Structure 1
Amino acid sequence: MTKHSPFHLPRPRLTLAQATQLARDRFGVTGTVRELGSHQDRNFRIETDTATVVLKVSNPAIATVELEAQNAALAHLDSAGLDVPAVVVGIDGRAIQRVTVDGQNLDLRLLTYVDGHPLTDSVRLSNEQICSLGDVAGRIVRGLADFEHPGADRFLQWDLRRGGEVIDALLPAVDDDARRERLRRVTDAARQQLARVAAELRVQTIHGDLTDDNVVSREDVAETITGVIDFGDVAHGWIIAELAATCACVLYRSPQHPLAILDTIEAFAAQVPLTDAELTALWPLIVLRTAVLVVSGEQQVHLDGDNDYADANRAREWLAFDTAADQTAAQIEALIRLALTDEGAPVVAGNHPLFGPLEPAAIIDLSVTSAVFDAGSWLEPGIDERVAADAAAHLGHAVTRYGEYRLSQTRRDTADESITLALGVEVYLSAETPVMAPIDATVVVVDADTVRLEGGNYDLWLTGVDAAALDGQAIRAGTALGTISGAVGARSIGARHGTAIARVTVQTGRLRGIRPPFFVAPSSAVLWQRVCPDPSALLGLATMRPLADPAALLQRRDTVFARVQEHYYAAPPQIERGWKHHLIDTHGQSYVDMINNVTTVGHGHPRIAEAARSQWSLLNTNSRFHYEELVRFTERLAELAPDPLDTVFLVNSGTEAVDLALRLALTHTGHDTVLAVREAYHGWSMAADAISSSVADNPRALETRPDWVHLVEAPNAVRGKYRGLQSAPHYLSDLDGDLQTLAGDGRTVAAFIAEPVFGNAGGVLLPDGYLAGVYEKVRSRGGLCIADEVQVSYGRLGQYFWGTEQQNVVPDIITIAKAMGNGHPLGAVITRRDIAERFADDGPFFSSAGGSPLSCRIGLTVLDIMRDEGLQQNAEAVGRHLKRGLERLGERFDLVGAVYGTGLYLGVELVSDREDFTPATAVAAMICDELLLRGCIVQPTGDFKNVLKIKPPLCLSVASADHFLLALEDVLGVLTT
């Protein structure tokens, strides 16, 4: 290659000041100017007092007639139902202005700005946006079908008719040897496939770059593309190349779901029906498009080192190519054809089931909710086979279910979708069982383990059947195929309980001659179940009923369950199983639970399950009866409490504990006012809500506090009135003023209540000495000090069992809940004997279920597990590791304003401006949605809903913490690109 190569197109050299002057001198336009991204040109957005326009400075290699073609195409598409730019003529009336800048002859154009949000603003493309891309690409092709202009006949680097030539020319720009070799190998195969049909592909003027960079959506219809903003690649080209460019965009925006391109293709084909040759050419062209993007990006960065736009695109372009290269070309082409031509149909039962009669009772459950997977057994290698073999040994045979999302296929600590959906049936039965052909077919012996029956409209794939003698023969339904062998090739699982058991897999497939996968991702379930319909009828069994739709279940919930009882996420996964610090949905997708401080010792703990089962089988009643578990549990809590707290009340929740604590204080002191901290949340009862002032939980909180509540300044050392851990004297000075005002009004202080760590703000540690100072001042006025430990106690802070230990104080009353029962409703108030006895003067206290034998047994088991498994120590070690990782992210990403907390009570405050500490509320919600898609559950908290609250089960592992950190790093990287 020489420096005159048509592929060497450095952008024009032009400063912002020069662009500003050119816009004024040539078009009479002035305003705020900023540069937009471009691969080989220069684009500047200018906001005037009356409108927004774009100054386009074309690469000197682009002929003026080509720019004229672009302008003409814009005018031609004016009636296509899309917003497209309009040409603004210069002061002299010409649409294209030729100027010379620093020795460069440049063409300038001014276009109107198409309003809307670029699709690149979306972190992830929705299904609707993916379809809309294909629809718009098709509409553009239709709109340009009769467009002709001499400037459209041009040499263009992006013209996929020259894709191989571009790759040959630019491949040396790829420095990495392995990548360069893979590019060559993959693109050579694509070019060979394309060469067979290239002469048959239709040619017309096309847009050439209908991608997320070049389309926008109005806010009122965010899921639908409403405008196309860049026509710099308008030229003659293959019609199918337009679609290939759009599909390549979908690949790099949805690399985890490459088959999403099928939605794009269907939408395009609804506008522009595709020929057989175009269907053959499409996938090779998608591969070539991704390769051209890669080599062009590498070349452009070599050539034009300050081109941040090209440099930022490189990672996603490589991602698109690698995703494409990982696919099987023949399978993708077959899927494309099927998507456009076949609606799918059920498999019809015949009179000759494969194995003779099978009992419905032999169908085993390997789903997410199956009892055989309790206590984490689903993680054991080969668990499905062992369960099936045991069932077969007792019943004579066992059958797995088609369309089942298998828990054994679930993968933890990964952002990738678990491949869980079974597209076939496995039959476990005794070796030497005869096998009958269930359909008329031609027998094809694929290998020693596999036979394919080519039927009328689908293939039937069998493994573990010896049919070598019939290879190549056409047979009728009912013909004996052979027997099930116990050999390794038949996937024998040996003898169970004295019976030799072998496994046979049964699967249908409409991709003729192409073996489908046995398991696929849930995101492509609809497609693959069309490709591989249920074969159960061929076994003489009823077809399986589809799994209930989580969205339909959510609609039922909203019909009968008060909607004020909110749920996480707009479209939540349906969670039906948990294990340790993981949650698993009905599709077998696993999520690291980073928010569940209710489940202290982890989900699905077998010791808690056994404790509940055992106690239920013995007794469950109320605490007015006399039984040992109550004594043992309350003794244990009193031992854990700091001196001199020695007396326990048992209730059902944190709200009840707080409510009771307030009554204790008001009764004991006879005073009339409770001091509560602003922005805190303490519960939902009348009393607990009265002292809660978080506007995130109640927008009218500050307007509706009753007279007996007095709010004091929130001691938020990061966002509060006074900043820093040394700010306690300032807050205490303000408290002195509050106390003087109350005294002047004749009001007396009954209690001060606060979390010892500012939980509602995301785990912010209180200023040093704050609680000691407050407690002293309150007690000097005859009040009691209540520590709301509902969220932060029970070893969650790692170094401290009680949150008040971090502040080196002992309260008069402690409220606890959440962690106590690991999800079972259990709460407590721990106080001094004199405070409890004074409360008795107002009559007895009783909670129907608080302190029941079941609750006490579970509470004791939780404490035993924490001790035996070292969970407080784990919270300290893993929490320290996790916080360091979060702080490192804060050093890299300006979105992270602060990292709070200790142990496994942490918070990440997200800000759009670090200097002003502006809450990034919308970004926080977006991050939570993106983390869910990467296998992590976290939610925002705080009055601005901009703090990620991180309070997982105390069994969180370092591996899962690292997965969360990597997922958060990935999301932050995407948002700041």
Structure 2
Amino acid sequence: MNEQSPFHLPRPRLTIEQATELARDRFGVTGTVTELGSHQDRNFRIETDAGTVVLKVANPTVATIELEAQNAALQHLVGLDLDLPAAVPGIEGSRIVRVTVDGQTLDLRLLTYVEGHPLTDSVRLSVGQIRSLGDVAARIVRGLADFEHPGTDRFLQWDLRRGGAVIDALVPYIDDEARRERLRTVSDAARQRIALVAADLRVQTVHGDLTDDNVVSRDGAAGTITGVIDFGDVAQGWLVAELAATCACVLYRSPQHPLAILDTIEAFAARVPLTEAELSALWPLILVRTAVLVVSGEAQVHLDGDNGYADANRAREWLAFETAAAQDGAELEALIRFTVADQTLADQRHAIASTEHPVLGPLDPAARIDLSVTSAAFDAGSWLESDIDERVATDAAARLGHAVTRYGEFRLSQTRIDTADESITLALGIEAYLPADSQVTAPIDGTAVVVDTSTVRLEGTDYDLWLTGIVAADLDGQVIRAGTALGTALGSVAAGSQRARHGTAIARVTVQASRLRGIRPPLFVAPSGAALWQRVCPDPSAVLGLEILRPLADPTALLQRRDASFARVQEHYYQAPPQIERGWKHHLIDIHGQSYVDMVNNVTTVGHGHPRIAEAARSQWSLLNTNSRFHYEELVRFTERLVELAPDPLDTVFLVNSGTEAVDLALRLALSYTGNDTVLSVREAYHGWSMAADAVSSSVADNPRALETRPDWVHLVEAPNAVRGKYRGMQSAPQYLADLDRDLQTLAADGRTVAAFIAEPVFGNAGGVLLPDGYLSGVYERMRARGALCIADEVQVSYARLGRHFWGTEQQNVVPDIITIAKAMGNGHPLGAVITRRDVAERFADDGPFFSSAGGSPLSCRIGLTVLDIMRDEGLQENAEVVGRHLKQGLERLGDRFDSVGAVYGMGLYLGVELVSDRAEFTPATAVAARLCDELLLRGCIVQPTGDFKNVLKIKPPLCLSMASADHFLHALEGVLGELST
């Protein structure tokens, strides 16, 4: 490797102290100096009393005339309605000041600071930001179209006219041989395509680096870019290379959605129309740009080892290259052309016109089969089985004579689990399952092209019609009329999946229309590309003689309907929530077929969609459902089972509908049994929404006025939070108990008597924080000495969730007088219980009979028993222990790497991650927690914040959570924490 290559440009050697002196002595500027990132220069932000400026120290290889060109370009673009920096003269009046530092001759410039939030502050770019990037790039191109300066004729490694030379010079810096050869192979092919049109590409002065690093948005700009902050790469170059650089940025910012570049391209082309040659060169130029970024970054890190900026960018530069290299180049070029074509295309229907000659003869609309997310064919997880669509369809065809799939359907069978990538679920064609040897007819006039042994492309006036699964007639290259026989359906759909009706084999014929002429479109695409792809591949139902189906409902419109009829105080997760319509085990699936690992749903303990629960409900509903004043066996069986599980001496059960009702009843039991007047509750807790349950709840996250509005019969004691509480550490119980003793003395002095103490045995609302060792035993001893009862609110943490323990109180080695449970009991069915001693229950009878209309119904009891059976039979407590330990260890490893992780709480599958902005001060990072949850959703994980500061991730998934899903969550969390920490 030639260390003297013009592409080897280590940054100038300059410390912050030296930069501070230069700014003072040469420009008369003093203030707080911070270094900014750069590949090959040095940039320092200086915050002065008068405002903020940037000291730019150019690489010694940059000629002064080139810096003059940059200043002139900035002046030329004044009036462009963009915030741009301006050069500030030095003490001696020059806008470029030459100095010598440690033997280096350096040119300095001082520029005004462009206010705004860098686009790099956004973890993920919005559609508006992506389009704004393209629009700003075009505006700069137009603004520089008539700009000429001798300093723009420069040798620059970012000039894509020299992209091949840069790659050749720097590719040896890639240490991994396989990656090095892949980059060389991909970039060589792209360079060859560019060479075919290079002579016809327009050349002018370009900015050269309109990317997220160099643009900002002011507050209130709704994602629109308002300023450009760096013009260090201004030079002569291909006009279209400006757009290629911007598209490469979009690729590494939106790797899951590579077609997002089409929004950038469309916005650019709306201001600067592209020529035929530029349309041909654009995609290969994007590939070359990503390759140049990769080799430049690798070389810079080798040469300039302390360049953290270049090192941090390497991963995303490789990601951009790999994303680009994975695309079908011909398809991308065709999509680019389609995007920037005559805008009348945008108005075309998403369906093609009907015809007198259906492709497959008359088809029965009733034979259309449902393969969507809500299809009953996919119950009990069958959608994960291979070839399930084919089996469902061929079975239907065997019954009905034929079966037809639906265009524009988001297929559940295409959903992938445990992935951050978007599932490719949208069907762009129709599959017909019908007797083999059925005739296939041309529905329109066109040219027949036999593509392969089972595929014919019929080239019509407005679109191509692709027909797959047929034995083609000898028509290749012939112009044919509508009604001409194209061939017959093949004999079977696949080995092992052939079905027969009266001895007739079932064949599958796929029909797909496309406006990408001559290019075979994909049969399935990602939902994010639905709007584009449904323009490209319109609905072919009409050429099959079928009615066009209405499009799927919009989740946003449904949310508006919800807000119109449903009390908004009953909040929903996420500002723009996915519309979830199916669950399976620990996965949730939205209407677009995107899957999410459910890390928050402790209600659904044994998992979503469990067939045993579905069957138990169906069976019991068909027999009887009434109230517990009637006599039936299910109630007895269920309460006996609960008593078996309860710790001695708890032997009596009340059945209710929810945790709130259970807590409310428990408080009434205690007040009735003791005849005393005061209930002790810990701060920060949440116990329910009824008058009594809310009275003992003091979480300000659930009720901002909680601490001001407690009734007189409730006394709050200090929350024994061993991590962020008044006293810290697992050995802090004596200090908290000493405070409790003082509370009890005060109450006694006021003549108040204690009826009960209520607390969760693990701080669920705080994210699963374990209580200090011995705390509950000390509290319970004090309560019983005063004749008070001890209530354990086990609504969130019981039922094996802690893994090692079935009940939360076991972790503290205590037995309460009353246990309240709910949530997990019914796996989503409303079911709650209070378990206590017989004497406590009987004393309550003095106040009259107790009755809950649906509590203890046959249906509830049957479901409750089934949940316990499933937990036992599927080893879910053991799974909570094993997977929970693995998950917690992984979270703790992330805590070792990321300062924003302040603490990891809990055990089993009740865990919490507290996010902080300052570990020493333990400052809650509420905004970070919110952003993190939004980003995890986009990576296929549902998690939500909890705690009084909404900064603790509550991790309480169904107990069937798999190791694979736990690892997917950890990987996704690691990625988001990494992005938020840069």
> How high is the TM-score relative to the length of structure 1?
0.99
CA contact (8 A) 2:401 2:501 kept: no
- Out of 334, 351, 359, which is 1:354 matched to? 359
Is 1:712 aligned to 2:694, yes or no? Answer: no
How far residue 647 of structure 1 moved from its aligned partner, in angstroms, is 0.9
Is 1:273 aligned to 2:273, yes or no? Answer: yes
Q: Matched residues in 2 for 1:53 and 1:496: separation?
A: 80
The number of aligned residues is 977
Partner of 1:634: 639
Partner of 1:108: 108
Is 1:7 aligned to 2:7, yes or no? Answer: yes
Q: Secondary structure at the residue paired with 2:765?
A: helix
How far residue 8 of structure 1 moved from its aligned partner, in angstroms, is 1.4
Partner of 1:77: 77
Q: Matched residues in 2 for 1:886 and 1:256: separation?
A: 25
Q: Matched residues in 2 for 1:113 and 1:52: separation?
A: 6
Is 1:825 aligned to 2:830, yes or no? Answer: yes
CA contact (8 A) 2:173 2:295 kept: yes
Is 1:917 aligned to 2:922, yes or no? Answer: yes
Partner of 2:48: 48
Q: Secondary structure at the residue paired with 1:187?
A: helix
How far residue 400 of structure 1 moved from its aligned partner, in angstroms, is 0.4
**1:754-773 equivalence runs, <5 A:** 754-773=759-778
Partner of 1:955: 960
Q: Secondary structure at the residue paired with 2:559?
A: helix
- Out of 579, 583, 587, which is 2:588 matched to? 583
How far residue 490 of structure 1 moved from its aligned partner, in angstroms, is 11
Could you tell which deviates more after superposition, 934-943 or 912-921? 912-921
Q: Deviations over 1:286-341 (max 9, x none)?
A: 11111111111111111111111111111111111111111111110100111111
Q: Matched residues in 1 for 2:498 and 2:176: separation?
A: 45
Q: Deviations over 1:370-409 (max 9, x none)?
A: 0011111111111111111111011100000011111111
Q: Matched residues in 1 for 2:701 and 2:660: separation?
A: 17
Partner of 2:755: 750
Q: Secondary structure at the residue paired with 1:862?
A: helix
Q: Matched residues in 1 for 2:647 and 2:169: separation?
A: 76
CA contact (8 A) 2:584 2:608 kept: yes
Q: Deviations over 1:23-65 (max 9, x none)?
A: 0000111111110000000000111122111000000111111
Q: Secondary structure at the residue paired with 1:220?
A: coil
Partner of 1:264: 264
CA contact (8 A) 1:534 1:544 kept: no
Q: Matched residues in 2 for 1:84 and 1:276: separation?
A: 32
Q: Matched residues in 2 for 1:954 and 1:828: separation?
A: 20
**1:624-773 equivalence runs, <5 A:** 624-773=629-778
Is 1:595 aligned to 2:603, yes or no? Answer: no
Partner of 1:365: 370
- Out of 596, 611, 618, which is 1:613 matched to? 618
Partner of 1:138: 138
How far residue 457 of structure 1 moved from its aligned partner, in angstroms, is 1.2
How far residue 203 of structure 1 moved from its aligned partner, in angstroms, is 1.5
Q: Secondary structure at the residue paired with 2:506?
A: strand
Q: Matched residues in 1 for 2:605 and 2:179: separation?
A: 46
How far residue 6 of structure 1 moved from its aligned partner, in angstroms, is 1.5
Q: Deviations over 1:817-849 (max 9, x none)?
A: 000000000001111111111111111111111
Q: Matched residues in 2 for 1:219 and 1:616: separation?
A: 57
**1:54-203 equivalence runs, <5 A:** 54-203=54-203
Q: Matched residues in 2 for 1:480 and 1:51: separation?
A: 77
Aligned-partner residue type, residue 954 of structure 2: K
Residues 1:60 and 1:491: Cα distance change in structure 2 (over 3 Å)? farther
CA contact (8 A) 1:486 1:492 kept: no
CA contact (8 A) 2:493 2:507 kept: no
- Out of 568, 572, 576, which is 1:567 matched to? 572
Partner of 2:942: 937
CA contact (8 A) 1:752 1:786 kept: yes
- Out of 409, 412, 420, which is 1:415 matched to? 420
**1:417-566 equivalence runs, <5 A:** 417-486=422-491, 493-495=498-500, 498-566=503-571
Residues 1:201 and 1:490: Cα distance change in structure 2 (over 3 Å)? farther
CA contact (8 A) 2:492 2:508 kept: no
How far residue 959 of structure 1 moved from its aligned partner, in angstroms, is 1.0
How far residue 222 of structure 1 moved from its aligned partner, in angstroms, is 4.5
How far residue 498 of structure 1 moved from its aligned partner, in angstroms, is 3.7
Q: Matched residues in 1 for 2:796 and 2:421: separation?
A: 32
Could you tell which deviates more after superposition, 840-849 or 259-268? 840-849
CA contact (8 A) 1:464 1:490 kept: no
Q: Matched residues in 2 for 1:174 and 1:808: separation?
A: 58
Residues 1:829 and 1:144: Cα distance change in structure 2 (over 3 Å)? same
How far residue 696 of structure 1 moved from its aligned partner, in angstroms, is 0.8
**1:199-278 equivalence runs, <5 A:** 199-278=199-278
Q: Deviations over 1:449-502 (max 9, x none)?
A: 211111111111111111241111110000111211216799983536743111
Partner of 1:282: 282
Partner of 2:845: 840
Partner of 1:312: 312
Q: Matched residues in 1 for 2:605 and 2:429: separation?
A: 39
Q: Secondary structure at the residue paired with 2:55?
A: strand
> How high is the TM-score relative to the length of structure 2?
0.98
- Out of 890, 897, 901, which is 2:902 matched to? 897
How far residue 113 of structure 1 moved from its aligned partner, in angstroms, is 0.8
CA contact (8 A) 1:491 1:502 kept: no
**CA RMSD, 1 decimal:** 1.2
How far residue 781 of structure 1 moved from its aligned partner, in angstroms, is 1.3
How far residue 413 of structure 1 moved from its aligned partner, in angstroms, is 0.8
Q: Matched residues in 1 for 2:102 and 2:890: separation?
A: 49
Task: List 4+ stretches of structure 1 deviating above 6 A.
Answer: 488-492
Q: Deviations over 1:662-683 (max 9, x none)?
A: 1111111111111000000001
Q: Matched residues in 2 for 1:911 and 1:453: separation?
A: 61
Q: Secondary structure at the residue paired with 1:171?
A: helix
Could you tell which deviates more after superposition, 35-44 or 632-641? 632-641
